[in-house]
């Protein structure tokens, strides 16, 4: 099996760190030209510089993923400078960072301030929806098919106290993905989602930095380790490649066995 992306173009959001950054790196290694987008411009400039050393075209783009005008401009730039978008990996998100900690009732849904709820939805759900929509329009116009890959979460399936808003946002990403799979199939566009478990990214720093919390989490993972960003990037690579061409409307679970649906 050769997971080859030669002559393909990819737009990857949330690319300044973690899963997005590793996905950009892996896609470029497999031959793709990449736009790396994130609100952290310095971070994506670093990523783009790294990808150019691999001989790829790489564009760094700053974007606030909850702003539709900025998303539309990002997609238009990718179409012009990359020559189109074959693959989207929507990895931009804000975390639920209180897992295993006592942060008070602010994080219980019955007490959570509306502005906190709206911020979570505006980035994680609205931002993914808007990115998917504008990329899908570009793909339909190009009439070459395409791949949409959304980063959801195991939290879309299994919820925890004080993590409700995050779980709802990621469950929304999963239902969004299924809906797009049905609506876009006629255009040769697939839509799939990935539901990572506990991955070694900045989102889990507070867990991995606590011996008590880390041990409690590792005890729930049958493989006994945290996932690496590469584990998720490799799943995205499969879905983006020709080998993944018959997958659509699916939720992939690279999670070490912590969730077995």
- Rounded CA-CA distance 98/139 in Å is 38
Residue 259, classed as helix, strand or coil, is coil
- Rounded CA-CA distance 243/230 in Å is 18
Burial of 204 (0-12, 13-18, 19+ CB in 10 A): buried
Distances (CA, A) of 26 to 10, 127, 151, 183, 190: 11, 24, 16, 29, 20
Q: Annotated catalytic sites, by residue?
A: 166
Of residues 38, 187, 236, the one with CA closest to residue 127 = 38
Burial of 89 (0-12, 13-18, 19+ CB in 10 A): buried
Helices (H) and strands (E) in the chain, counts: 9, 7
Residue 11, classed as helix, strand or coil, is strand
- Rounded CA-CA distance 17/217 in Å is 22
Angle among Cα 215, 220, 225 to the nearest 5 degrees reads 65
- Rounded CA-CA distance 236/96 in Å is 22
């Amino acid at each position: 099996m050769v997971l080859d992306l030669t002559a393909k173009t990819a737009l990857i959001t949330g690319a300044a760190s973690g899963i997005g950054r590793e996905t950009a790196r892996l896609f470029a290694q497999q031959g793709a030209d990449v736009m790396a987008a994130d609100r952290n411009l310095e971070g994506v400039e670093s990523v783009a510089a790294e990808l150019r050393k691999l001989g790829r075209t790489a564009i760094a783009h700053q974007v606030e993923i909850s702003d539709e005008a900025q998303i539309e401009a990002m997609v238009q730039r990718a179409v012009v400078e990359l020559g189109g978008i074959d693959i989207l990996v929507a990895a931009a998100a804000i975390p639920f960072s209180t897992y295993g900690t006592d942060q008070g009732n602010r994080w219980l849904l019955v007490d959570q301030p509306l502005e906190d709820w709206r911020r979570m939805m505006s980035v994680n759900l609205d931002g993914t929806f808007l990115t998917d929509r504008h990329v899908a329009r570009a793909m339909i116009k190009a009439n070459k098919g395409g791949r949409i890959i959304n980063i959801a979460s195991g939290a879309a399936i299994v919820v925890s106290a004080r993590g409700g808003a995050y779980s709802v946002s990621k469950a929304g990403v999963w239902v969004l993905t299924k809906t797009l799979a049905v609506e876009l199939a006629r255009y040769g566009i697939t839509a799939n989602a990935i539901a990572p478990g506990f991955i070694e990214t900045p989102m889990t720093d507070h867990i991995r930095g606590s011996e008590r919390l880390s041990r409690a989490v590792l005890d729930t993972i049958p493989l006994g380790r945290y996932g690496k960003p590469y584990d998720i990037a490799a799943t995205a690579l499969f879905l983006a490649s020709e080998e993944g061409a018959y997958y659509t409307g699916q939720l992939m679970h690279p999670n070490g066995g912590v969730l077995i649906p």
